[in-house]
A and B are shown apart, each in its own frame.
Chain A
Amino acid sequence: MHELSIVQGVVELCEQHSGGRTVLAVTLQIGALSGVVPEALEFCFEAVTKGSLLEGARLEIERIEAAGYCSECGILSRIDTYFDPCPSCGALSLELRTGEEMRVKDLEVE
């Protein structure tokens, strides 16, 4: 349940960037292998934002697919786990290029 600390981090970042204005919406980018469950973020969001500039704000979550680069065949492929083999040549140990993101993309303020 570190989603709670994640949402606290989101609130802090948004308050730093909103220039004191009420935040109407926030967009997050969450990688498929980040270990963060979007539903759990949504669950904490309302409670954590209460009394902050984000109270009542809309939470939008963009999922980022995980992609691994295969140094054997030089192909970048979508993967679902840390241990997927290369879908093209079957090689193990792909180099993760995307999928671990946990970012605040943007805000919409009043």
Chain B
Amino acid sequence: MCTTCGCPSEEHVHHHGHGEHISGGKISVETDILAKNNRYAGQNRNLFREKGIFALNLVSSPGSGKTTILERTLRDLSGELCCAVVEGDQQTDNDALRIAATGVPVRQINTGAGCHLDAHMVGHALEELPVGELEILFIENVGNLVCPAAFDLGEAHKVVVLSVTEGEDKPLKYPQMFHAADVMLLNKTDLLPHLDFDVEKCLEMARRVSPGIKIFRLSAKTGEGMAEWYEWLRGER
């Protein structure tokens, strides 16, 4: 029985010989605690490479607009690119229903008490998606700016979404997540006239934590800035 997702897994053989030395009562282990997750992430990454799938892991705090960005992206791109979505939430399939309404294949993962997706869960979700035809896979992680940073899912990039209603200093408050991300979507820019959000200051903080981060300013509601994001998706995949 797997403690990660509760499925009956054959992975749990007791393997030894990883270079551990038994001397007295001490056993040297020297192994990354996330080694198991990283092994599953490696399997996912191999599958993505083999099938030519560009996989993105979308991370943010709850309510930043990840699902709305996806809905608009899928409606605008699904005619030219074959996409699918894995949705992660603690409870409900509300987001999966919103994605399904765009006509794109989607699998919901409910993590229950879990605060992040892990690579094992994503691997199972992939079994139920048409991976042979896919060009882009969007993995919408559980809304949480802390825990998902540590878990590799096999994605090409972590894409962090920050909305302008959240405050410009989020990159410095949650540096691990912004450091782990290669791309940042600054969402809800249509609301800027009503807020004191300092865009330049926010972008400077994001670059301090993650020097090479690629940044797009957009509004999934009005569509402003979405074209540049699409251009990047087309070019990178």
Contact = CB atoms under 8 A, between A and B. Distances in A.
Interface of A: 1-2, 4-6, 8-20, 24, 28, 33-36, 81-83, 92-93, 102-110
A4 B146 CA distance: 14
Q: Which 3 A-B pairs have the closest CB atoms?
A: A2-B147, A93-B211, A82-B175
A13 B205 CA distance: 38
B36 interface: yes
Nearest to B211: A93
B33 A6 contact: yes
Contacts of A1: 115, 147
Nearest to A9: B33
B32 A103 contact: yes
Interface of B: 3-4, 12, 14-16, 18, 20, 22, 25-37, 113-116, 118, 146-147, 149-151, 172, 175-176, 178-179, 205, 208-211
A108 B29 CA distance: 10
Given A1-B115, A8-B3, A15-B14, A35 B30 contact: no
Contact of A82 (B25, B113, B209): B209
B30 A105 contact: yes
Q: Is the interface of A mostly helix, strand, loop or mixed?
A: mixed
A81 B175 contact: yes
- Residue from A35, A81, A92 having most chain B Cβ neighbours under 10 A: A35
A82 B179 contact: yes
Contact of A5 (B29, B114, B209, B211): B114
A5 B26 contact: no
A2 B146 contact: yes
A17 B27 contact: yes
26 contacts: A2-B115, A2-B116, A2-B146, A5-B114, A8-B4, A9-B34, A12-B12, A14-B29, A16-B15, A17-B20, A17-B27, A34-B150, A36-B150, A81-B175, A82-B178, A82-B210, A83-B175, A93-B211, A102-B32, A103-B30, A104-B30, A105-B29, A106-B28, A106-B29, A108-B27, A109-B25
A103 B29 CA distance: 9
Contacts of B179: 82
B1 to A, nearest CB: 11
Given A19-B16, A35-B149, A13 B33 contact: yes
A105 B26 CA distance: 10
Contacts of A14: 29
